[in-house]
Amino acid sequence: SNQQARLEGFFKPV
């Protein structure tokens, strides 16, 4: 089944 990704996987902290 599908796993919920987290935002940090796409957007980097600044």
Partner 1 sequence: MLEARLEQAQLLKKVVDAIKDLVQDCNFDCNDSGIALQAMDNSHVALVSMMLKAESFNPFRCDRNIAIGLNLVSLTKVLRAAQNEDILTLKAEDAPDSLNLTFESSDKDRISEYDLKLMDIDQEHLGIPDTDYSATISMPSAEFKRICTDLMAMSESVTIEAGKDGIKFACNGDIGNGSITLRTVQDVENKENNIEIALTEPVSLTFSLKYLVNFCKAQNLSKTVKLHISNEVPLLVEYAMEGGSYLRFYLAPKIGD
**Contact positions vs partner 1 (CB under 8 A):** 1-14
Residue pointed to by tokens 């940090």? 8
Least separation in angstroms between residue 12's CB and partner 1 is 5
Closest distance between partner 1 and the C-beta of residue 9, in Å?
Answer: 7
- Smallest distance, partner 1 to C-beta of residue 1, A: 8
DSSP single-letter state for residue 9: G
How far is Cα 12 from Cα 6, in angstroms, rounded to an integer? 11
